[in-house]
Amino acid sequence: MSKSMETPLPLRILNLILIGILCLTIILPFMHILALSFNNGMDAQKGGIMFLPRDWSLENYTEVFKQNNLINGLMISIFRTVVGTTIGVGLMAMAAYALTVKTLPGRKYITLFIFFTMLFSGGTIPYYLVLTDLNLTNTIWVYIIPSLYSVTNILLLRTFFNQLPMSVIEAARIDGSSEFKIFRTIVLPMSKPVLATISLFTAVGHWNDWYAGTFYVRDEMLKPLATLLQEMLTRQDALADILLRSSGSQAYEMLDRVSITSESLQMATIIFVVLPIVCVYPFIQKYFVKGITVGSIKE
Amino acid sequence: MTTFVTYNGELKSQEELEQHYKPVKVSTWVRLKKHKVFYTMLFPCLVFFLIFSYWPMLGLVLSFREYGFNTGILGGDFVGLKYFEQFFDDPRNWIYIKNTLIISCLKLFVALPFPIILAIMFSEMKNSKLRSTLQSITYLPYFISWVVVVGIMSRLLAPDTGLLNQLIQKFGGDGSTFFMMEESHFFPLVFISYVWKGIGWDSIIYFAAIMAIVPTLYEAASIDGASRLRQIWHVTLPGITSTIIILFILSLGSILSAGFDQIYLMQNPGNANVSETIDTYIVRTGLQGGQFGYATAIGLMQGIAGLVLTIVVNRVTSKKFDSSLW
């Protein structure tokens, strides 16, 4: 190997420094929010907190857990994430697998039928009116049913299934296994990377979605955590809102607890919303690079 | 000519083989029946797209009709091009179009090189363990919702107590700038947060494309005396051009949509003049204002522009660069 194959040392160091800076711009803001969320709210308003809390306090978090609407929102978020992901990934995998069967009559037209929806759509308003016509708005199903399928995910799954060794599937076919059994016992177990990737996409999509909760749902008890956080951040004073919601003596009790500010409550809620993603992420992360890059490169 | 060995050891050409083993003609009905299980697997999917994608497309006729609560999605009286005229007659809408184009051009063109550069930088790192750790860190913001990102931004950029303003104070500034509220900071903030959120994730595909380049190309270049930087220019970049083009075409469909979540969440009374885009305007007049016909008409124009642009660019690139979507 000749010398110019190697990157010169100063360039490599510069490279590492620049990438390091990028990573710091990602980690430090989260650490700042984390520090604020563990800090006494009134104290935090004086400013000067960087990446470590100055006046430790768990009150912001205990307050989050005292908020009935936040706990309810958490339940809604968990429900839609679990149910929506399980059903959605199962259905998408089935559809994508059927699209890889080369002998399927009409396969080209069906693929086009699905793919075209990526290029053109009816737009925001007709879509909303369809949801109203179906009586989906203001029910919990508006979170689940309209997001069961996603074209990009179907295409990703299809590309992955196309790369599976046909010989294994053919062998099972000759052994007389039913097509559905082949799908369940051979295709799915061989497709773990892509299934993990699609599950992560779908789950994160559900967890992060605030739009449906804001525009398709009026009932407060149906709003997911993401929507509640969005409302909280938009409203200038979340604490005033808490006082409004809680009744009578409870309100006075709250007034005493001045160590929490709307700011500090927001910070705790942000951490609360981000935490599940950050926790699940490292476990699935090893799969998704493989999951999304298979077949996406033309050679 | 290719020859095949048959089961009893004879050598046959392809034509001979085909004559011997003529495919049995099966009637369409039998073929359909044989694939029953696959159609069952596809059925819910087709119903889904029929309801949630094609039915709303039918609802686009609302652009030409008066919406009434009892006439439903297909609308009532025919009003012709009334909504389109209404849209173009209002001078404010030109500002919204301009805002949308500025933001989407920032995202489509100006932001384009960043993930590519990052992918090249990662590919130059030889320590693969450190590299994959750093890569996973850069993917993370992609999975964080815009609600959270904008929430964090507002905190960091808050006047007086925000981290940035405190830094400015330390260096002698007054540190009371309302970054999120001021018009002049809106586009830069949109751009920076967009690049920050997507740079790592968007680099994955480029990175994989770089890894797929055959190493002998680099060897040949280095024998020719090309320095590492020249190799990047003459081997790496040409090696990923088709990937760049395909991703670019895919993103073009959204030229008239500046990304709803980010913009809507970053909007506030202070930056209203520069932050209203077509997407947010549709939601404001339609979903929030109830002007269904008018908002549908705007959405229709947006959708058609995106579709036409995608098709045209795809045609051009498929002729010029030999890479296309279909």
Q: Does A27 map to a domain? A: no
pLDDT at A20 over 60: yes
Whether residues B41 and B106 fall in one domain: no
Whether residues B235 and B315 fall in one domain: yes
| pLDDT tens, residue by residue, A27-51 | 999 999 999 999 988 888 787 888 8
Q: Does B325 map to a domain? A: no
* Cα-Cα-Cα-Cα dihedral sign, residues A89, A94, A99, A101: positive
Whether residues B151 and B221 fall in one domain: yes
The two three-digit tokens of residue B85, written as one number = 């005229």
> How far does CA B72 lie from the centroid of its chain?
32
Whether residues B44 and B186 fall in one domain: no
Confidence category of residue A2, pLDDT binned at 50, 70, 90: very low
Phi-psi domain of A135 (left: phi exceeds 0; alpha: psi -120 through 50; beta: other): left
Whether residues B56 and B129 fall in one domain: no
A126 with B56: Cβ contact below 8 A: yes
Q: How many CB pairs under 8 A join A and B?
A: 263
Q: Does A223 map to a domain? A: yes
Of A105, A149, A277, Cβ closest to residue B143: A277
The pLDDT value given to residue A49: 85
Whether residues B55 and B124 fall in one domain: no
Whether residues B147 and B230 fall in one domain: yes
Structural domain containing residue B111: 82-320
Of A134, A266, A298, Cβ closest to residue B151: A266
What is the number of structural domains in chain B? 2
Collect all residues of chain B within an 8 Å Cβ-Cβ radius of residue A148: 44, 48
Whether residues B204 and B151 fall in one domain: yes
- For residues B194 and B198, what is the distance between their CA atoms, to the nearest angstrom? 6
pLDDT at A1 over 70: no
CATH number, domain containing residue B267: 1.10.3720.10
Of B59, B145, B204, Cβ closest to residue A292: B204
The pLDDT value given to residue A252: 45
The residue out of B17, B46, B74 marking a domain boundary is: B74
Q: Does A123 map to a domain? A: yes
pLDDT at A249 over 60: no
Whether residues B23 and B112 fall in one domain: no
Segments in chain B below pLDDT 70: 1-12, 14-25, 75, 321-326
- How large is the average pLDDT for residues A206-226? 95
- For residues A122 and A25, what is the distance between their CA atoms, to the nearest angstrom? 39
How close does chain B come to A208, measured CA to CA in Å? 5
CATH number, domain containing residue A63: 1.10.3720.10
Q: Does B204 map to a domain? A: yes
Q: Does A47 map to a domain? A: no
Residue A91: is it exposed, middle or buried by C-beta count within 10 angstroms (0-12/13-18/19+)? middle
Whether residues B67 and B91 fall in one domain: no
The pLDDT value given to residue A238: 45
pLDDT at A233 over 70: yes
What is the number of structural domains in chain A? 1
Whether residues B52 and B104 fall in one domain: no
Whether residues B297 and B198 fall in one domain: yes
Interface of A with B in 185-204 (CB under 8 A): 200, 204
Structural domain containing residue A286: 59-293
The residue out of B39, B74, B109 marking a domain boundary is: B74
Residues in a beta bridge with B13? B3
| pLDDT tens, residue by residue, A52-74 | 898 888 888 988 888 888 899 99
pLDDT at A247 over 60: no
Q: Does B288 map to a domain? A: yes
| pLDDT tens, residue by residue, A140-198 | 999 999 999 999 999 989 988 988 888 888 888 888 888 899 999 999 999 988 898 89
3-state secondary structure chain A: CCHHHCCCHHHHHHHHHHHHHHHHHHHHHHHHHHHHHCECHHHHCCCCCCCCCCCECCHHHHHHHHCHHHHHHHHHHHHHHHHHHHHHHHHHHHHHHHHHCCCCCCHHHHHHHHHHHHHCCCCHHHHHHHHHHCCCCCCCHHHHHHHCCCHHHHHHHHHHHHCCCHHHHHHHHHCCCCHHHHHHHHHHHHCHHHHHHHHHHHHHHHHHCCHHHHHCCCCHHHCCHHHHHHHHHHCCCHHHHHHHHCCHHHHHHHHHCCCCCHHHHHHHHHHHHHHHHHHHHHHHHHHHHHHHHCCCCCC
The residue out of B43, B74, B105 marking a domain boundary is: B74
Interface of B with A in 263-302 (CB under 8 A): 265, 279, 282-283, 286-287, 292, 295-296, 299-300, 302
Q: Is B19 on the interface with A (CB under 8 A)?
A: no
The pLDDT value given to residue A250: 52
Task: List, in sequence order, every beta strand (DSSP E) within chain B.
Answer: 3-5, 11-13
Q: Is B83 on the interface with A (CB under 8 A)?
A: no
How close does chain B come to A59, measured CA to CA in Å? 19
- For residues A151 and B325, what is the distance between their CA atoms, to the nearest angstrom? 15
Q: Does B226 map to a domain? A: yes
- Between the alpha carbon of residue B217 and those of residues A1, B44, B239, the distances in Å are 13, 48, 10
Of A105, A209, A274, Cβ closest to residue B32: A105
Q: Does B99 map to a domain? A: yes
ipTM score: 0.87
